[in-house]
Each structure stands twice: as structure tokens, then as C-alpha cells.
Amino acid sequence: MASALQAVTLPAGTRTTAPERRPALLILPALVVLAVFFLYPLVSMVISAFTDPSPGLGNFTWFFGEAQNLRVLGRTFTTALWVTVIALALSYPYAYAMTVAGPRARAVLTLLVLVPFWTSLMVRTFAWVILLQDTGVVNDLLGAAGLGPFSLIRTQTGVVIGMVQLLMPFMVLPLYAVMSGIDRRLLSAAGSLGARPVKAFATVYVPLSLPGVSAGCLTVFISALGFYVTPALLGSPTDALLSQQIFTQVNGLLKWGRGGAMGVVLLGLTLAMIALLAVTLRRGGRRVTG
């Protein structure tokens, strides 16, 4: 009883007993499921890349030896890069508007950017198929403006439009998080020292917002690298990206080793980008706190 009372008077979060090991047992069931249905599948994919059909680096020499594959890799990279650049160009002013808006306008802007978050990926891709078709609304509007018609579907343009729409929340939210912490009086200070608004913005505001820019860009880039459904339905089969090639190798051609090798390349790229993200975030965090 005395010890229980003592525990009650201790501040929350204080160690009440010697190292607590029993709660760790609660993690076990989830860990077992992850080991069997996540880790084991990933490891077996990596192993197949090195062993199927015969042990060695054959699948990787095939991947990096064929010009076709390198084109796919390059296309995957440039598509992800375009998506990132356009998403940044659209999101930067948008996030900035969120910081200067009143509470109600900010709520509306936030809601709008969150809509793509929860509208199903499949539904949204289907909607873009309709919007972008040759006789679709987008072409009608462009036609009314005296432009087009453009072929948007089955092109990289269509893929980029769809992917940017899907990934914009991942750019806007970190940008807004950083921008809302910037003291806008710094801009007035720069102005009072003689800087014109544009110059003050470029030399004071933009550098302060960079941690948000890098976090958003890397998140969008990483997600874009691994996209499957949107490019498969909006793009053309001849412009396939890495993830579609993996699907084709495994599901269509039953080349497990080759699909596995491509999977290893995609996974490696993703992990490298995440490592980069972790480093930038830590540096960004240090700059903000220190």
C-alpha cells in the first residue's frame, strides 16, 4: 500500500519499477505478424533477385546491361523529379497563403488540400481517366480557350498531372508547418533596412522555409518513385515506369529473379532517399532549435 501511494505521488512518466520488460511482450504479436507478412516477403524478394534462376548477379547484370531498363530507370527518376518540381511550384504559394489567411479561409484551404488524402487512389485515378480523355472536360475547357486539343491520357503529362494531385498534401503540410513558424516581422525589418519586398522575400523568407521545402520534396519524390496504379492507368505502356516493369516481369513473364532485382533497385533508391530525408530533417531541426 505504501509503495502504491508513493507511485501515486510520483510525477507521470517516472519509472515506478525497475526496467519494465513485461510491456515489451505486448509488442510481440504485432512483431510476429510483421516478420511473417512483411519482413519475410521482402527478404525472399531480395533472395530471389540473387538466386533465381541461378545464383549470382545475373539479374543485376541483365538490369544494368539493357539500355531499355536504363531508360525505364531514367524515366522513373525524371517523372518523380517533374512531379516534385511541379508540386513544389504549386504548393509554395498555396502554403504561404495558408499562413496569411484568416482562420476561416485557412480551414477551407486545409480542407481542400486534404481531400486528395482520403479520396481513394483508385477512384481518383479513374476520375483523371475521364477528365483527361481526348473529349474530356480538360480538353473542352482548353478548346473553349482556343487551345488544344491535346492528347493528355496515355502520356507522361497525364501521369504527372494525376500524381501531383495525389501527392500535394505531402508537400503542402510540411511547408505550412515550417512557414507558420517564420516570424513575419523579419520581412518588415528587411524592408525598413531598405530591401524591396521581392528581395526581402527571397533573401529572408525563402531561406527560412527551406527545411519545409526539403522535407516536402523528398517525401513527394520518394512516394512518386514507387507509384503503380496512376502511371499504369494514365500512362502509356511504352512509357512504363519501374514499378510497372516489376509487375510485368513477375506477373506476366514469371521472371521472379528479374522482378526481384528491379525491386531491390527501387527499394535501394527509396531507402537512400529516406536516409537523405532523415539527415536533412535532423539538420533542419538543429537550425530551428539552435
Closest residue by Cα to residue 241 from 39, 56, 69, 94: 69
Least distance to another protein, CB of residue 56, Å: 19
* 228 exposure class (CB count in 10 Å sphere: 0-12, 13-18, 19+): middle
Distances 107 to 82, 98, 102, 158, 178 between C-alpha atoms, Å: 29, 9, 9, 30, 17
Stretch of 58-66, 143-151, 207-215, 225-233 lying at the interface with another protein (CB under 8 A): 225-233
Q: Among 130, 189, 275, 279, which residue interacts with another protein (rule: CB under 8 A)? A: 130
Least distance to another protein, CB of residue 16, Å: 7
Q: Which is nearer to another protein, 12 or 193 (CB)?
A: 12
Does position 191 interact with another protein (CB under 8 A)? The reply is no
Cα–Cα distance, 106 to 92 (Å, whole number):
15
Cell numbers that stand for 193 in this block: 533596412
Q: Which is nearer to another protein, 106 or 156 (CB)?
A: 106
Cα–Cα distance, 152 to 236 (Å, whole number):
10
Least distance to another protein, CB of residue 65, Å: 21
Q: Which is nearer to another protein, 70 or 100 (CB)?
A: 100
**Residue 2: alpha-carbon gap to chain centroid:** 53
Least distance to another protein, CB of residue 103, Å: 15
Give me the 230-269 binding string for another protein, x by CB under 8 A, dash otherwise: ---x---------x--xx--xx----x--xx--x--xx--
